[in-house]
């Protein structure tokens, strides 16, 4: 392994750029969909163009008003959300938000969700050719209305089908975002690869619920919600480790990352880059602090490039 100290014993800079199946990032830290708005809301706190990429909030073909309230609940070491993809729709995103992000030099990943395979494909076609989009992330934790509401991401056949349909419409790197609410995540990852995925994003939230004992009712109006935050970190690490061993695709890993030490764990487990979600609510500057923490770790460990770190803890 090369040293990151030069002959005079002075620390040399380390290389923290990464390539996720054609998606080139200046550093390996992105902010997760739905936890950072369109990025523009955070401009008072940090230079948003310094983040590896901003994954914008879940975008749909038509505008959605989301689920009724309450749609957020705090839990020990995490939170539940059932926002229900509130967003103004893909056309408004492309017309009003994308140009502003482009002007600021932000690397933008668009997270898309649909009711049918055709909707995903139509959105990919609309996004294609718009300057300023670096990649598409597919939220496949959505009900497939043509298959009785079964989530796309829980069945290998529908995962392959939706990835294939999107790939036909775009030349951008496509990252399906895997749901942890499955028995065998490796099988799902292989289906995404068979559909032509360029990289994998994992994991989305774990299905959960909370109950108000005074009202004797579920806390969330939607009853169930997605669990995120530190509580899910061990599950995310385990799934990334499993997929890294079995599937030859770069992984964007996340789930409960609250520090650069957490991020390094994800990279050692097989992630090429990491995403920060719930942590943004605790500390809006976390993504950039994690970038600095990773850089310091590499220097301390005499590792010249973050790419060397990926999968180092995986036992063959
Ligand atoms: C309030 C909230 C909204 C979210 N909205 C989306 C979304 O629109 N699309 C999506 O793919 N994931 C969404 N997620 C999931 C996050 O992007 C992330 O994958 C998940 O929360 C796990 O990471 P974390 O523990 O760092 O938050 C949302 C999460 C939260 C907490």
What sign has the CA pseudo-torsion 270, 245, 19, 131?
negative
Residue 47 CA, chain-centre distance (Å), reads: 20
Task: Give the HSE-up count for residue 99: Cα atoms under 13 Å, Cβ half-sphere.
Answer: 4
pLDDT digit string (tens) for 122-149? 999 999 999 999 999 999 998 888 888 8
- The residue with greater pLDDT, 146 or 265, is 265
Q: Which residues pair with 17 in a beta bridge?
A: none
Asked whether residue 82 is marked as a ligand-binding residue, the answer is yes
What is the model's pLDDT at position 144?
84
Q: Could you tell me the sign of the dihedral formed by the alpha carbons of 242, 195, 141, 49, in that order?
A: positive
pLDDT of residue 1: 38
* Average pLDDT score over residue span 65-70: 95
Query: CA 18, 20, 26: angle at the middle one, nearest 5?
Result: 30
Choosing from 30, 33, 224 the residue with most ligand 1 atoms within 8 A of its CB, the one to mutate for a pocket test is 33
Domains observed in the chain = 20-284 (3.20.20.70)
pLDDT, one tens digit per residue, over 11-66 is 568 999 999 999 999 999 999 999 999 999 999 999 999 999 999 999 999 999 99
85 is in an annotated binding site: yes
Measured from the Cα of 278, ligand 1's closest atom is 27
SS3 readout for the chain: CCCCECCCCCECCCECCEEECCEEECCCEEECCCCCCCCHHHCCCCCHHHCCEEECCCECCCCECCCCCCCEEEECCEEEECCCCCECCHHHHHHHHHHHHHHCCCCEEEEECCCCHHHHHHHHHHHCCCCCEEEEEEECCCECHHHCCCEHHHCHHHHHHHHHHHHHHCCCCEEEEECCCCCCHHHHHHHHHHCCCCCEEECCCEEECCEECCCCEECCCCCCEEEECHHHHHHHHHHHHHHHHHCCCCEEEECCCCCHHHHHHHHHCCCCEEEECCHHHHCCCHHHHHHHHHHHHHHHCCCCEHHHHCCCCCCC
Per-residue pLDDT, 11:
59
What was the pLDDT predicted at 150?
83
Question: What does the radius of gyration of the chain's CA atoms come to, in whole angstroms?
Answer: 19
pLDDT digits (tens, 9 = 90+) for 227-248: 999 999 999 999 999 999 999 9
The span from the CA of 196 to the CA of 266, in Å, is 24
Q: What are phi and psi of 57, to 5 degrees?
A: -60, 155
How many angstroms is it from 218 CA to the middle of ligand 1?
Answer: 21
Please indicate if the annotation marks 139 as binding a ligand. yes
Atom of ligand 1 nearest to the CA of 57: 8
Instruction: Please tell me the residue having the least CA distance from ligand 1 atom 11.
Output: 139
* Residue 2 pLDDT exceeds 70: no
Atom of ligand 1 nearest to the CA of 203: 19
List, chain by chain if needed, residues with CB within 6 Å of any ligand 1 atom.
Answer: 32-35, 57-58, 79, 81, 83, 85, 111, 139, 177, 204-205, 228-229, 232, 254-257, 276-279
Q: pLDDT value at position 143?
A: 86
Average pLDDT value over all residues in the chain: 95
Closest residue (by CA) to atom 4 of ligand 1? Answer: 34
160: annotated binding-site residue?
no
Q: Give residue-wise pLDDT tens across range 95-128.
A: 999 999 999 999 999 999 999 999 999 999 999 9
Rounded to whole angstroms, the Cα distance separating 46 from 74 reads 26
**Positions marked active-site:** 142
CA distance 173 to 204: 19
Q: How confident is the model at residue 10 (pLDDT cuts 50, 70, 90)?
A: low
């Amino acid at each position: 392994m090369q040293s990151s100290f030069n002959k005079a014993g002075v620390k040399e800079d380390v290389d923290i750029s990464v390539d996720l199946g054609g998606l080139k990032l200046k550093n390996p830290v992105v902010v997760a969909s739905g936890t950072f708005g369109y990025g523009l809301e955070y401009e008072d706190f940090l230079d948003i163009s310094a983040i590896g990429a901003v994954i914008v909030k879940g975008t749909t073909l038509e505008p959605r008003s989301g689920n009724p309230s309450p749609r957020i609940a705090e839990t020990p070491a995490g939170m539940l959300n059932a926002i229900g993809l509130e967003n103004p729709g893909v056309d408004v995103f492309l017309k009003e938000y994308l140009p502003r992000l482009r002007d600021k030099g932000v690397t933008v990943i668009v997270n898309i969700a649909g009711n049918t395979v055709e909707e995903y494909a139509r959105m990919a076609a609309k996004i294609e050719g718009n300057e300023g989009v670096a990649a598409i992330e597919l939220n496949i934790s959505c009900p497939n209305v043509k298959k009785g509401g079964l989530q796309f991401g829980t069945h290998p056949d529908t995962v392959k089908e939706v990835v294939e349909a999107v790939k036909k419409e775009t030349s951008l790197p496509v990252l399906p975002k895997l749901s942890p609410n499955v028995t065998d995540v490796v099988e799902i990852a292989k289906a995404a690869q068979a559909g032509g995925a360029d990289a994998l994003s994992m994991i989305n939230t774990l299905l959960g619920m909370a109950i108000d004992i005074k009202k004797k009712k579920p806390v969330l109006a939607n009853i169930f919600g997605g669990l995120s935050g530190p509580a899910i970190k061990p599950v995310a690490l385990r799934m990334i480790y499993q997929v890294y061993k079995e599937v030859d695709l770069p992984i964007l890993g996340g789930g409960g990352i609250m520090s650069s030490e957490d991020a390094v764990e994800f990279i050692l487990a097989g992630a090429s880059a990491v995403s920060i979600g719930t942590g943004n609510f605790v500390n809006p500057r976390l993504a950039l602090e994690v970038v600095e923490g990773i850089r310091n770790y590499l220097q301390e460990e005499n590792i010249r490039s973050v790419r060397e770190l990926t999968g180092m803890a995986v036992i063959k």
